[in-house]
Structures are given as structure tokens and as C-alpha cells.
Structure 1
Amino acid sequence: MSIPLDRVAVVMMSTVGNAVHTLPVVNSIKAHRPDARITWIMQPGSAALVQGHPAVDEVVVVARKQGMAGFAGLRRELAGRRFDVALNLQAYFKAGVATRLTGAPIRVGYDRARARDLTWMFSTHRLPARPRGHVQDEFLEFLDFLGVPVRLEWGLEPTAEEGGRYAPLLPDAPGPTVAMVVGTTKPEKEWPAERYAALADRIAAELGGRTVLVGGRSPREEAAAAAIRSAASHPPLDLREWDLRRLAYLLSRSDVLVSPDTGPLHMGVALGTPTVSLMGHTNPKRYGPYRRYQELLVDAFGDPGEDYGVSAPNRAGRMERITVEQVMEKVELALRRYRNSSPDGQPSP
């Protein structure tokens, strides 16, 4: 089946991490059809990450928290637009509604088994049924369906203008710079603040490095940052601010990123920043770093010797298993292997 790609709507409204996973989809379509017009329907929290992205012609923001009023606004926003195809990468009911509101005659979504909340009802075409996989791989299935070659590219690198704007935040330093993310959307995914403090002290004492807090300013992040400052002899530089383009710059300037399962983790991997992933609550085979930096993953999700499946659900109380020693070993490995790496995240020869 030949699907026209002149006017493409992409529906992915949720998290920053999923926005990162969507970028290879839009990059691949644009590379395959440079004249295609790609409109991305998303919510405000992630929109700043891709505004002005060369593969995205237009971002339409949905005020999803406004409920039906937000979707009424989306209907008005889309009223004058015409799409050939809409891709619903998100298996939730509200994403299905947004997909239907595009009015596209071809609406592609997941097969029934993977389409939660009856979102399959809003699709005219469905992906072939497959077992669950990594989120990124599932997104790339849409390219297979369209007959578009995959380009595993994200294009998150800061622009020259952003580099000039944000450079004063992080002046050059003689030792390595290790960025740390302390907060996520779910407290079950977070690593204890006192262990970040101990890690910061070890990086300063043993590596002559500096640590930097990046991320947002939610109440839990504020509390964690305060606890780290109180406990650490070498407190990290606090550069948290929920400016996603600023965050991309800071991650690109860091030698190593230490992060639990949250959006900045996937941003770091996409940017080619060696990323030490702290995974315990969520399944790293489905939500962990994609392809890169697998040897830097600290896996507290599985038991020793366990061959868990990609569909294994969340597990409570596992983040406490991750020790400072384990994370420090991964930071040291990252610096040995990648500190002078190429921009695509490949180790030095």
C-alpha cells in the first residue's frame, strides 16, 4: 500500500522521553520526503524541545489538562488544515481523539493488543501485531508501515545561538563535568538524595570533577537538591531550570550524565552524552537507554541472573538497591571510554 506523505500529522502528546523517541520518526520521514509538511500535535511541557526543529514544520499544542475545553481548542486549531495521514504513536484515549480530530483519511495506530483505552477505534490502519519491545523500536514500526527507511537521528544538538546564550552557565573546568538528574514524574523511580551527595563528594575527591544538578524545579526536586546541598562537602552546581533547550545545552557540555528513568536520560543518550542510567522501578529493556551506553546501565530491576522479559511490569522498592559504589564505577568507566569520544557517542579508538 502506497501512503501519501505530503501532509503528515504526528500525534505524541506525552512525556519528554517519548518526544525524544518520536524524533527519529519525523527525521526519517523528512529525509525520505524533504517536501513533506510535518505537523506535530503535542502538549505544552514537551513543545519547547522541538520548536524550530528542522524536521518539524509546525507544532500544534494541546492544553490537555483543560480536558474537553483543550480538545475543543484543538478542533478549532486544526479546522483549516488538511492531512493525508496521521500517525498516533501514543496508545491512550485522548491521543486517539486528537488523531481523529486531524480529519486525515489515513490514521495509523497500534494493533488492538497494544492499543490501550480503545485507541484502535480511532485508526483506519493498524500496525501488524508484534510482541512488546523497547518504546523506540515500537515507534520505528510506523516507518516500516509507511515504507520509509529508518534514520536513527534525533537532531537535539544546541544551535550556535543557544550555545552563545547558555555558555556562561557552565564555564570550562579542568576536570570532568558530571550532570545529575534527581527528579522524575514518579517518586518510585528516584534515587535517594543522600547517595547523590556521596557521589558528588567522590567525584570531586577522586576524579577532580564537578557535578551539576539539571532538570526541573518540582517540589520533590527542590527538596532533593536541598538535601544534597546539606549533605555534600562538595555540593553540586545547581543549574536546574525547566528550559528544555537550556537542558540540551548543559547535557551536551557534560562528560557524563547520571539519571534515573526520565526525559533528560533519553535526551542525554540522543545527544551522545555518556549516560549512567539508574533503573530499578521501570523495565530497562522497554524504557532504558536505546542502544547506546548499555554497559553504563545500573540494573536494579532484575534479580541476579534473572532473564526478565520486556513486558515485565514496574517493580517497587528497587531503586534503593543501587549503591554509590556501583554508580561511581559506571562514571569512571564512562570517563575512560568516552571522554574523548566522537559526537555520535562512539568511544575513542
Structure 2
Amino acid sequence: MTTRILIVRTSSLGDLVHMLPAISDIARHVPDASIDWLAEEAFAEIPSWHPAVHEVIPVAHRRWRRHWWAADTRRERAALRATLGARRYDVVLDMQALMKSIWLVRQTRGVRHGLDWKSAREPLASLFYDVRHRVEFWQPAIVRQRALAAAAFGYAVEGPPDFGLHALTDGVAIEPAALIMPSASRDDKLWPDADWRQVFDDLQGRGLALRLLAGNEAEQARAQALIRGRADAAVLPRMGLRQVADQLARARIMVGLDSGLTHLSAGLGRPTIGIYKASTPVRTPLQGPAYTASLGERGQAPDAGRVRAAIAEALDEARADPPRADSPAPMGGAG
């Protein structure tokens, strides 16, 4: 008998990546599960990459809130409400526990599970669940998500996180290139140009080409300025999520600011170094099947020397036990 499950976790990019191991756990422990996932339209590709996800239901809250009462927005919201109202789930699991997710949860049909008052970031959200679960707050996001799923379905969390992204990495040839993410959603996350240039010198001295990721025009301009005058260095054009994931899967190493793409790199099993300056890695450290290092702290950015040391450790470890493209690499160190 099929167990129909709806996961509610709409955003952001990094948060959806952190959810993937919990989906692997559910699929392993609830073998008859049919899992649907409500996700923000901009990130809906990420759940679709997991083989255990049956259907991704897109929601456009970020776009709708700009024109909430416009006719097109009201039609789209009504269509979503009709879609959710027409389905009956055995378990509706809200992995977000925010009031912005509750308006979606209230439109669903099924037994609604979520965090209890002491566990939720917005405690009022807990009042809208049929079943509430206690999960320790100050834990890494992946650990919390796996613990909540385990509580909802009555199993114990076992083993390292499995992101379920093997279809994106199996058979992929690793290229002699470093992927760099020097941009972030906030200026207070940016790292000094002089430090980046030291890191670039180090990577190129190891024979690696530089490939920089950038989104909008300002990020493109900043990235171009960082590599000006360097040979074998380029800013990649703006791409869709799948194209970015393909670039990350082929990279020898990834170095980036605390961003969703840096967490995606770790989930894909690439050696990944994250630079934290305006946020703490306590709750969102990099995790993945290869080497990861989460460097810095809120108000205390790592210097170039520390990042270069992590690069050396990551590449030396990979040389000692090179990852195969068709299987997960061994667990690496963490900074």
C-alpha cells in the first residue's frame, strides 16, 4: 500500500539541498513512499534531481508577493489551491516551520506534521500541525531535517547523509578547473579582493583553470575585475541550475562564499571550501561525501592563508584516495 507524502520546503537554494538527505532517509525507511514536494519555482529543479521524488509542485510566493492582488497572481494561487485540495496525503510534513509555509500547509489534506513550539524558528507555526515533534534547535540544518523526518516516520537516523544526486555525477570526468563563487546575496558576505587573488595564485600554481560563477550584471563585473589580466581564467555566463550543477560536478575543487551553490557543490561530492563572514557555520556547515571545510564565523572572516591551507588539504586528500565518478567519495575533514 502506497504512503502518500507531501514535503513542504519552498526555499531557499541551500535549504533545499540540505533537505535531500532526509528524502533519501524516508525512501530507505518507508519503501512504499510516494513523495511530492512543494518548492519555490526558482528552485524546483533541485527536488526533481532526487530519484525518490515523484512530483514537484511549484509555488511562486516570491513572485506573487510583489503583486499579491493582481488578477494573474490570484489565478495562479487559486490553481495551486485546487491542486492541493484535490489530493489526499497520508503525511504532510512541513520542514520549514515558518508562517509563510503555514498558508500552504493549511491548503493541504492529510495529517500535518511539523516542529513543536520549542523547536520551530517561528513558534506560532507549531499551532497549525496535527502532530508536533521536538528537534534540538542548535544543530546543523541537515541533522535537524533528518531528525524531523525520522520523528515523523518512526525510524532512527543512520549513516552519513546521502543527497541522492548520483545521476548528476555518475560517469562525469573531472576537469583540471576550480569553480569559484565570489558573489553573495549581501555585500557583508563578500571577501576582500586581495585574499581572492592569493587564492587564485595558489589554484593556478597547482595547474587549475579558474571558472567564476556570477549571476547579475554587478556580480559579472566584480568577477571580471577579480581575474583581469589572468590567463586561463573566465567568468561563466549566467546559467540555469542544472547547467551550474553540471559545471560543479566536473570541477576539481570549489571555493565559494556561504551560498546555496557552495552547498550544492558539497552535496554533489566535490571537494568544497566555504568562506563564512556574515553568518555562522554552526547551523549551516558544508556537508557532503567528499572533503569540506567551513571556514570563518560571523564577523570573523578567514584569511587567505587559512583558505589556502584547506585547498592543500582537500587536494592532497583527493590525490591520496581519488574519488571515482560513479561512486561517493570518502568523508573529508571539516574546518
TM-score normalised by the shorter chain: which range applies?
A: 0.7 to 0.9
Q: Does 2:323 align with 1:323? A: no
Q: Does 2:192 align with 1:192? A: yes
Which residue in 1 is equivalent to 2:329? 345
Question: Amino acid of the residue matched to residue 74 of structure 1?
Answer: L
* Cα shift at 1:143: 2.6
* Closer/same/farther in 2, CA of residues 177 and 253 from structure 1, 3 Å limit: same
Separation in structure 1 between the aligned mates of residue 292 and residue 51 of structure 2, nearest angstrom = 32
Which residue in 2 is equivalent to 1:157? 166
- The 5-angstrom pairing of residues 217-228 of structure 1 reads 217-228=215-226
Deviations 1:92-135 (A, max 9, x none): 1111111121121x211112123244211221111125342111
Separation in structure 2 between the aligned mates of residue 297 and residue 97 of structure 1, nearest angstrom = 34
Which residue in 1 is equivalent to 2:41? 44
Separation in structure 1 between the aligned mates of residue 104 and residue 224 of structure 2, nearest angstrom = 40
SS at match of 2:36: strand
- TM-score, with structure 2 as normaliser: 0.84
- Out of 109, 114, 123, the position equivalent to 2:119 is 114
Gapped regions of structure 2 (runs ≥ 5): 69-73
* Cα shift at 1:21: 1.2
Separation in structure 1 between the aligned mates of residue 2 and residue 119 of structure 2, nearest angstrom = 25
Separation in structure 1 between the aligned mates of residue 116 and residue 287 of structure 2, nearest angstrom = 23
Q: Does structure 2 conserve the Cα–Cα contact (< 8 Å) formed by 1:181 and 1:258?
A: yes
* Cα shift at 1:185: 2.2
SS at match of 1:223: helix
Deviates more, 1:242-251 or 1:135-144: 242-251
Which residue in 2 is equivalent to 1:88? 94
CA RMSD of aligned residues (A): 2.7
Q: Does structure 2 conserve the Cα–Cα contact (< 8 Å) formed by 1:9 and 1:83?
A: yes
SS at match of 1:115: coil
Separation in structure 2 between the aligned mates of residue 61 and residue 333 of structure 1, nearest angstrom = 40
Deviates more, 1:221-230 or 1:118-127: 221-230
Instruction: Tell me the number of residue pairs that the alignment of Structure 1 and Structure 2 aligns.
Output: 315
* Closer/same/farther in 2, CA of residues 202 and 24 from structure 1, 3 Å limit: closer
Deviations 1:25-52 (A, max 9, x none): 2222222233321110010121122325
* Closer/same/farther in 2, CA of residues 5 and 193 from structure 1, 3 Å limit: farther
Which residue in 2 is equivalent to 1:304? none
Question: Amino acid of the residue matched to residue 225 of structure 2?
Answer: A
Deviates more, 1:115-124 or 1:328-337: 115-124
Gapped regions of structure 1 (runs ≥ 5): 302-314
- The 5-angstrom pairing of residues 9-158 of structure 1 reads 9-51=6-48, 53-65=50-62, 66-67=64-65, 68=68, 69=74, 71-104=77-110, 106-117=111-122, 118-128=124-134, 130-145=136-151, 146-150=153-157, 152-158=161-167
Deviates more, 1:36-45 or 1:106-115: 106-115
Question: Amino acid of the residue matched to residue 148 of structure 1?
Answer: Y
Which residue in 1 is equivalent to 2:315? 335
Q: Does 2:243 align with 1:246? A: yes
* Closer/same/farther in 2, CA of residues 293 and 326 from structure 1, 3 Å limit: farther
Question: Amino acid of the residue matched to residue 13 of structure 2?
Answer: V
SS at match of 1:277: strand
- TM-score, with structure 1 as normaliser: 0.81
Which residue in 1 is equivalent to 2:4? 7
Separation in structure 2 between the aligned mates of residue 40 and residue 129 of structure 1, nearest angstrom = 21
SS at match of 1:333: helix
